[in-house]
Structure 1
Amino acid sequence: MTLKRMDNMGIVVRELGPAIEFFAELGLELEGRAVIEGDWAGRVTGLGEQHVEIAMMRTPDGHSRLELSRFIEPEVVADHSNAPVNALGYLRVMFTVTDLEDTLKRLTARGAHLVGEVVRYQDAYSLCYIRGPEGLLIGLAEELGGS
């Protein structure tokens, strides 16, 4: 087998501060911030000259990371912030939470809004989608029945 693990998922945002605060409220921990630039970075991404500010957020279990990126150069070229869940390409990230109702209250206070409604999937999960900062689509799941 060649796959060892998934290191992180990247999300491009216009402003890092509000996105960091939002994901910290969700329960991710800021692992670090950095500026990425130079010839090597442009060769990896295929963008050439680039100047990007990133923040790496870590899940409480330490197994997953979310890389938030703010491109200074080159400018952002597409905006999928209002795309529906059936649009092509990356669209959402899903998090399991311990208390969905409380999580929704806290994130709503930070500007999130429910996309549809909270639904129950069998006796396994309560699920919903929210729009977070900059329209990011985020799935939330609470395990039910001691799953």
Structure 2
Amino acid sequence: MTIQRMDNVGIVVDDLDAAVAFFTELGMELEGRAPIEGSWAGKVVGLADLRSEVAMMRIPGAAGRLELVTYHSPKAIVAEPEISPPNTLGLHRVMFTVDDIEDTLARLRPHGAELVGEVTRYEDSFLLCYLRGPSGIILGLAEELG
């Protein structure tokens, strides 16, 4: 048995509208948005009385999606510390390759993006950086050089 594809990465956010606006500015498209609730949904994730809303984001012309979800019931919990450093165990970073890293940062800053470190050159291959977005999400950005 083999894996057919990676369908999506799920990210829990506290403000779904802000997260959709952030990832739209990054260059993704909103594929769809819907409430998810009921016993079937609660059974899948192991939460009773589940009420949530999901926004599916995609990169135009590319495979893979981000599933942004906000929980209305039960409310999302905040991990300690609230803003986790990059070496925290578990899933917490998504990396995107962009055409122009400085332009991308300039467009994302009005949506709350903050650099975690700094934009750094890796040999003659890439400009790289980590930035923090909505709900403390860490994104990696890479710009391929020459």
TM bucket, shorter chain: over 0.9
| C-alpha distance in 1 between matches for 2:102 and 2:62 | 24
Q: Which residue of 2 aligns with 1:68?
A: 68
| C-alpha distance in 1 between matches for 2:15 and 2:109 | 19
Q: CA deviation at 1:49?
A: 2.1
Q: Deviations over 1:66-114 (max 9, x none)?
A: 0000000111123365101100111211111011110011111222111
**Residue pair 1:81, 1:134 contacting (<8 A) in 2 also:** no
The letter for the 2-side match of 1:103 is: T
Q: CA RMSD for the aligned pairs?
A: 1.2
Q: Which residue of 1 aligns with 2:56?
A: 56
The letter for the 2-side match of 1:83 is: S
Q: Which residue of 2 aligns with 1:90?
A: 91
Q: Which residue of 2 aligns with 1:18?
A: 18
Normalised TM-score (structure 1): 0.93
Aligned pairs (5 A) from 1:55-134: 55-79=55-79, 81-134=82-135
| C-alpha distance in 2 between matches for 1:81 and 1:110 | 19
Percentage of matched positions with identical amino acids: 58
Q: CA deviation at 1:117?
A: 0.6
- Name the SS for the 1:140 alignment partner: strand
72-81 vs 98-107, which deviates more?
A: 72-81
79-88 vs 22-31, which deviates more?
A: 79-88
When the two structures are aligned, how many residues end up with a matched partner? 145
Normalised TM-score (structure 2): 0.94
